[in-house]
Amino acid sequence: MPVDQDLTALEAEDRLVTTQSDVTSGSPENTEVSAQTEEELLRPQPSKLESFFAITKSLIIRALIVYFITSMFRQSAPPKADLKSPSGGVRGPSVNMFNNGTKLDMYCYISEREFLKNFEDADLIWKHTGLIYGDWYGGENGDGTFTYHTNITPSHSLKHNGSIYLHVYLVKSGNSPDPRDKELYAGHFATYSKKVLNKYKKLYYQKTHNLLTGQTEKSEEEVRKAETVKNEIVSHWHPNLTINLVTDQTNWMQGSVPPPLDEFIYFLPDGKYYKPAVFLNDYWNMMRDYVPINETTETLELHLTYQPLSLFKWQLYTAQAMRDKLSMFSALGGEEQDEEQDTVKELLLDTSPYLLALTITVSILHSIFELLAFKNDIQFWNNRQSLEGLSVRSVFFNVFQSTIVLLYVLDNETNVMVRISCFIGLIIEIWKINKVMDVKLNRDDKILGLIPKLTFKDKDIVFFIFLYQRWIYKVDHKRVNEFGFSGEMEQIAKNGTPAITESDKKND
């Protein structure tokens, strides 16, 4: 079946199909509130300006990731031989399955099954016909967007930490993704994406109460759970989701699509065409707006928005998705990463572009100067042959001071980049101890007979001996220097009276 085959024209107007039954409105009687401790409620929150320098460091890291990913597109991949070709010739680039101006129909299903093999297990909640691929000015607002709103009745499984998925298909107008429609079945000529709609978050329960009144603001359910568990993973819901269809005519070579874009680009069996990516986007959903799903949940609102997406913006979103999957970032704590994400989104949405650009510039300069300071400090101490003029006591004081600063930023849940900076500074200060003193492990003398003692030998002992000698042996003003002058002569020349020496005091 050729991709450009003429299809039977269907009705061009939109049809909205809903399968859920009407639900009665009203608030549940026993709504469980979020399990948030009093410390979190009373802890002072930094202002936006105070958050700039901390958060933009994370923006710099993300910008570097985006830069490295976009640089991949500039690297020309060597042509690969087509193993399926009898002659083993060079494989040619694949073109987009949909040309600009192609009419499309979109089908949105919800199901509790991750892999939709049987369409009888899914509910069609939105069917939109007459979409035009490459149209950036359609819709009511003239920006290419179309919206739809519906309500979902959660099942018993979903109320008890189950999952629910959105399956989105886009086919040429008049075709269907359902194999039961044999005459209209699109087959391979359908682009598809799925996403789990609910998100799992960890709630913490603590036994807290007011020290003055002895009362607690927690609900009975939270008090009961605090007796048995410290935390609990609960399913959460956010009503908004955007369906982005990547609108671009870039020719891709099968097997040479750089990650993470290769997770979204699929090729037809013959390798001549590829399917345009469907990106289900929830990046702009604030984590604080997610609400828990429990037994008291009667209905869930769902707002779907269709919008075309350029290749450049798609690269930014996929780079962000790749960053979230990196183990080195996820090890720092998922909850902290979510809070930082919300702060970054607020900065991008609410801050003036000029102020944001200035802040990023200052933060980049601050990061560069901080790295240079670390480098110069290490270089100074590493190349130092003599410790004259340096204080051993100040080195130990700097270790103590850096430790206090690091503990403070850890206790106040400061940005991860600030913590890393303070930790590196502390390591450098500890390293300096070995430069000013000989630190050895005394295995002969142990603490409790198990732990060897650390012995410190001052390398700067000569300097201390000099200070001691100067204190013992006072200055002799009668001693004549190599020019024939003494301190007593200088004193007589200035004041007309000789200087009083220690021997004069004893004679008196």
pLDDT digits (tens, 9 = 90+) for 248-286: 999 999 888 888 888 899 999 888 999 999 999 998 888
CA gap 298, 30 in Å, rounded: 12
pLDDT digits (tens, 9 = 90+) for 33-88: 344 444 444 445 555 555 655 666 665 666 666 566 555 554 444 444 444 444 45
CA gap 270, 274 in Å, rounded: 10
Read off the pLDDT band of 413 (50, 70, 90): low
DSSP structure string for 158-193: HHTT---EEEEEEEETT-BS-TT-TTTB-TTSEEEE
- 165-201 in b/e burial notation, b at 16+ Cβ within 10 A? bbbbbbbbbbbbbbeeeeebebeebbbebbeebbbeb
The answer to whether 266 touches 203, Cβ cutoff 8 Å, is no
CA gap 102, 134 in Å, rounded: 8
The answer to whether 224 touches 30, Cβ cutoff 8 Å, is no
- 330-360 in b/e burial notation, b at 16+ Cβ within 10 A? eeeeeeebbebbebbeebeeeeeeeebeebb
The answer to whether 143 touches 136, Cβ cutoff 8 Å, is yes
**Distances in Å between the alpha carbon of 2 and those of 186, 267, 268, 272?**
11, 14, 11, 11
The more confidently predicted of residues 24 and 241 is 241
291: left (phi over 0), alpha (psi -120 to 50) or beta: beta
Q: Which residues contact 454 (CB under 8 A, 6 or more apart)?
A: 439, 440, 441, 442
Evaluate if residue 397 carries a pLDDT over 60.
yes
Q: Which range among 64-78, 181-195, 434-448 shows the weakest confidence by mean pLDDT? A: 64-78
Evaluate if residue 508 carries a pLDDT over 60.
no
Q: Which residues contact 299 (CB under 8 A, 6 or more apart)?
A: 23, 151, 152, 153, 154
- Indicate the pTM of the whole model: 0.60
Read off the pLDDT band of 462 (50, 70, 90): low
Q: Which residues contact 278 (CB under 8 A, 6 or more apart)?
A: 168, 170, 191, 192, 193, 243, 244, 245, 246, 264
Which H helix or E strand runs over 426?
A: helix 416-436
Read off the pLDDT band of 29 (50, 70, 90): very low
Query: DSSP class of residue 90?
Result: B
Compute the half-sphere exposure of residue 386: CA atoms within 13 Å on the CB side of its CA.
Answer: 4
Which H helix or E strand runs over 88?
A: none
Instruction: Tokens for 446, please give them.
Output: 């142990």
> Of 180, 204, 166, which Cα lies nearest the Cα of 120?
180
- Length of the chain (residues): 508
Q: Which range among 23-32, 125-134, 432-441, 455-464 shows the weakest confidence by mean pLDDT? A: 23-32
Read off the pLDDT band of 31 (50, 70, 90): very low
Pairing of strands 240-246, 190-196: unpaired
- How confident is the model at residue 14, as a pLDDT? 38
Please compute the mean of the pLDDT values over residues 217-229 and round it to a whole number: 69
Read off the pLDDT band of 194 (50, 70, 90): very high
Q: What is the mean pLDDT of the chain?
A: 76
- Which three-class secondary structure state does DSSP give residue 207? coil
- Side chain identity at residue 486, one-letter code: S
The more confidently predicted of residues 243 and 65 is 243
CA gap 417, 409 in Å, rounded: 11
CA gap 54, 60 in Å, rounded: 11
Evaluate the omega torsion of the peptide bond into residue 44 and state whether it is cis, within 30 degrees of 0: no
β-bridge partners, 309: 246
- Which three-class secondary structure state does DSSP give residue 330? helix
Which H helix or E strand runs over 7?
A: none
Evaluate if residue 9 carries a pLDDT over 50.
no
- How confident is the model at residue 85, as a pLDDT? 47
Instruction: Tokens for 46, please give them.
Output: 């930094």
- How confident is the model at residue 165, as a pLDDT? 96
Q: Which residues contact 33 (CB under 8 A, 6 or more apart)?
A: 219, 222
Share of the chain above pLDDT 70, in %: 67
CA gap 97, 369 in Å, rounded: 50
Q: Which range among 101-105, 296-300, 362-366, 478-482 shows the weakest confidence by mean pLDDT? A: 478-482
Evaluate if residue 230 carries a pLDDT over 50.
yes
